[in-house]
Structure 1
Amino acid sequence: MSQPVFLIVDDQKSIAQVLKQKLSVQSTLPIKICHSLAETQMLLATGVTIEVALCDQNLADAPHGETIKYLLQQHIPTVVFSASFYDGKDGGNHYKKIADFVMKDSPAALDYAVNIMLNLSQNAQRQVWLLTSNQSNYAQKLINMLHLQRYQVQTFEKPEKIQQQLTSETPNIILIEDATNLKQEAVYQFIEEVRQGYNLNQLPMMICESSENIYSAIKMMKYGVNDFFNTSFTAEEFYVRLKQNIELSDSYHAIEDISRTDALTKIFNRRYFFESAEKKFAKLQQAQKPFFVLMADIDHFKQVNDTYGHQKGDEAIIFVAKQLQEFFSEYLVARFGGEEFCVFGELSNLDQIEQRCEAFRIHIETESDIATKIQFTVSLGLCSSGMNIDQAFNLADEALYRSKNNGRNKLSHC
């Protein structure tokens, strides 16, 4: 299957080129430009897959929106970019299917148009969960609008169904519609329960309410809903509010990822590792389940740096981090700093974990030269005891240094 492309249709070549340049800075997808309906038809005849199209309303060979109508007939997500308001009258019912509309009225409109195209592209991977009753008059309208902007939509009639699904996956946003028929007290409780696990930035929620029930919407915002929109909403208002809430959440998650991730290896850093390990340790202790801690350290790392340079040292660190993640993918893995790493998790079978540790050690010994052009080894310390998380780590660290003192490239137990 060929890679999808962005399509810009505008008979003003300078504007088309500026849009392409702005879009190429933020996306790796190919970008095609057409200046007429005829060129657009010729391009689509090649079988190319269009990710999102940005189309001017008035072209020389299509002055009344015919190109927009054509793109929509091909089921292509289309943004109208026009110097005059697009009312869709010339396009019949097709205009209702446009993904968005941008007025070509200022230089800022170019940036906004590009942002809309990128957003529509990303929406194909975004999950929207809609909580609505089977008596709703607006649910299908919302679903249709969400599909126009390429969101993946799941509907739920009961709050508890969302709670169940939240145990295995998290959407980008939850929409609550028709709270009256859903029983408001149950919705209030649902909002409170969601907020116990997710803050406002981690999982945004929006509610749809009528003007008569505005107090209910405000009360729900006090309980933890981020935003609301009126039942008489316009598509433009809804899209803007939805987009802003999701983008704020995306920005929060991006900052959160940076704060908990090691910049070099992209695995967890020491601070986040300890925060998560303490929580997991407490749960395992409460359930009376065993655990393990594995410490790993690259042998003679200073010698690697001194002999081959810091760039090769970084390659060695990245290689070990990647292999740790592959060998211990179901556990918590982090870089502790320098050339030291740690793994923590529930212990189901000590023999199996020991075998996995040995397999990892041998893999580094045999594959490091192939991957980095430097042959190096790692020493390991394994522990499955301790009254608290700090003691467990200290015992694993002592085991690691026994491996170091006994010749390196070994696994030792606490």
Structure 2
Amino acid sequence: MLRKILIVEDTPTIARVQKHICLQAGYEVDIADSKAKAEALIAKNNYFCAIVDFILPDAPQGEAIPCSTKAKIPTIVMTGSLESKTREIVDRHPIIDYITKENKQAYQYLKRQLERLPRNEKIKILVVDDSATSRNYVSGLLKRHKYQVLEARDGLEALAMLERYNDISVIVTDSEMPKMRGEELCIEIRRIYTEEDIAIIGISGVESAHLSARFLKNGANDYLRKPFNPEEFYCRVRQNVEMLEQIRTIRRQANSDYLTELPNRRYFFSQVNKSLKAAAQQQQPSMIAMLDVDHFKAVNDRYGHDGGDEVLKALSKALCEHFDYEQVARMGGEEFAVYFAAEDPQHCLQKLEAFRRFVHTQGAALTPQSIAFTVSIGAAYGISDNIEALIKAADVQLYHAKDSGRNTVAYAPLNTDS
């Protein structure tokens, strides 16, 4: 379901540009050219956000802004210019941003903001402050931008929150708190999380030339002095969130196969090695299965490499759906792997056989060109912390499956004597 956005703009050319940007950003668009029409639309619809012009025929002094802000709609105000009087009026309202209609860059910035808002709904931010007033103020600013907000009254509560929630992205912490100062909290967080895992923004109302340096040296990514400008606060938070997203994108690209988006061989080895060692210490068996597309060269010869890619992507999607609790990877070419951690071998084999049957009967329906294909599977299981040994044994069974006519599952326990 598309998110709805309201554009309140009386200049048709500007409204068309804004609508084009909103559609590109994935929104469903309504347009009002007056305050009265905006009020009527808001009464009938649930809007994700709004873009409101400061000057309208029936609202020449920003009177349209409260139409959306009082309805709790995140609002971006656009103005022809931002003179001091206009800025004073805009600052009275709990908007998320204002943009001047000066040049092309302004509309590019608008697009980035509109693309950013839906992503913010998945971002958790922890606000740490012993003052309820300050904590509520910072939390309110963040909620305007659709962030998920958690709160803690001191450093100890903050550490407890980190144990409870493993997906916190940013921590905004005050300096002067009982039990644990903000700088001390930074030290404790950095014992567990790097600056690439969680961003910390320190804030303080104390006049000290050295406090910002103490925060940064103890692991904070950024620092703001209270009282801070909301616009600067939003910019700092967004920059830190986007920095974390870029790092995660780089990590994902390094660990993922470019075609199928499955984990690659490198990531598979790093993750499975950890799990194998833990299972072996508990004397629990593990299983690795190697899968190979049957007659893949013939698929490429008949349907071209685009057809071959369709098969690989369809198979990858099916693997993710059928083995959602297992570690799956593309090992290279048409070869894939599935790792079962400390599971009953017979149950693993039943899942592999069910998957083989699914591909055999439904394979053609999985690709746009209706390309029928099958897979051969080789599996090895046993108690071992040696991933190379398990993969080698699974490969041997894969060759047996191929020699047996393909489209079958071959398996054997790991021979620990060899």
Do the structures match in fold with TM over 0.5?
yes
Q: Is the 8 A contact 1:4 1:49 kept in 2?
A: no
Partner of 1:152: 148
Letter aligned with residue 73 of structure 1: K
Q: Is the 8 A contact 2:186 2:220 kept in 1?
A: no
Which of 347, 350, 354 does residue 345 from structure 2 map onto? Answer: 350
CA distance in 2, matches of 1:121, 1:387: 43
Deviations 1:352-407 (A, max 9, x none): 11111111111111111333323322111111234511111111111111111122
CA distance in 2, matches of 1:142, 1:307: 61
Letter aligned with residue 36 of structure 1: S
1:228-377 to 2 correspondence within 5 Å?
Answer: 228-372=223-367, 373-377=370-374
Question: Which consecutive residues of structure 1, in runs of 5 or more, have no partner in the other structure?
Answer: none
TM superposition shift of 1:186: 5.1
Q: Is the 8 A contact 1:12 1:35 kept in 2?
A: yes
TM superposition shift of 1:216: 4.2
CA distance in 2, matches of 1:399, 1:348: 19
TM superposition shift of 1:322: 1.5
TM superposition shift of 1:341: 0.3
SS of the residue aligned with 1:383? strand
Which of 204, 228, 245 does residue 209 from structure 1 map onto? Answer: 204
Question: Which consecutive residues of structure 2, in runs of 5 or more, have no partner in the other structure?
Answer: 413-418
Partner of 2:45: 48
SS of the residue aligned with 1:400? helix
Q: Is the 8 A contact 1:179 1:187 kept in 2?
A: no
Which of 37, 40, 54 does residue 39 from structure 1 map onto? Answer: 37
Distance 1:67 1:211, change over 3 A: same
| Residue 63 (str. 1) matches residue 60 (str. 2) | yes
Partner of 2:218: 223
TM superposition shift of 1:209: 2.0
Deviations 1:44-95 (A, max 9, x none): 34x232221111111121101111111222221111111234657668xx93
Instruction: Provide the TM-score with structure 1 as the length reference.
Output: 0.89
Q: Is the 8 A contact 2:22 2:28 kept in 1?
A: no
| Residue 162 (str. 1) matches residue 158 (str. 2) | no
Q: Which moved more, 1:257-266 or 1:183-192?
A: 183-192
CA distance in 2, matches of 1:300, 1:8: 55
Letter aligned with residue 74 of structure 1: A
Number of matched pairs = 403
Letter aligned with residue 76 of structure 2: V
Letter aligned with residue 145 of structure 1: L
Q: Is the 8 A contact 2:294 2:375 kept in 1?
A: yes
Partner of 2:410: 412
CA distance in 2, matches of 1:182, 1:6: 45
Q: Which moved more, 1:105-114 or 1:145-154?
A: 105-114
TM superposition shift of 1:246: 0.7
Letter aligned with residue 403 of structure 1: A
- Could you tell me the percent identity over the aligned residues? 30
Deviations 1:167-197 (A, max 9, x none): xx312312222453241375144222232xx
Letter aligned with residue 142 of structure 1: V
Distance 1:113 1:263, change over 3 A: same
Distance 1:262 1:6, change over 3 A: same
CA distance in 1, matches of 2:385, 2:105: 60
Deviations 1:229-266 (A, max 9, x none): 11221211111111111111112222222222222222
Q: Which moved more, 1:233-242 or 1:319-328?
A: 319-328
CA distance in 2, matches of 1:191, 1:222: 13
Q: Is the 8 A contact 1:4 1:48 kept in 2?
A: no
Distance 1:120 1:183, change over 3 A: same
CA distance in 1, matches of 2:268, 2:362: 27
Letter aligned with residue 251 of structure 2: E
CA distance in 1, matches of 2:407, 2:82: 72
Deviations 1:298-355 (A, max 9, x none): 1111112222332322222122212211221111101111111001231221111111
Distance 1:95 1:150, change over 3 A: farther
Letter aligned with residue 115 of structure 2: L
Letter aligned with residue 117 of structure 1: L
CA distance in 2, matches of 1:60, 1:182: 56
SS of the residue aligned with 2:27? coil
Distance 1:214 1:151, change over 3 A: farther
Q: Which moved more, 1:172-181 or 1:241-250?
A: 172-181
TM superposition shift of 1:226: 0.8
Partner of 2:122: 125
Q: Is the 8 A contact 2:6 2:31 kept in 1?
A: yes
Q: Is the 8 A contact 1:129 1:173 kept in 2?
A: yes
TM superposition shift of 1:105: 3.6
TM superposition shift of 1:102: 2.2
Deviations 1:137-186 (A, max 9, x none): 511111111122221111134133123124xx312312222453241375
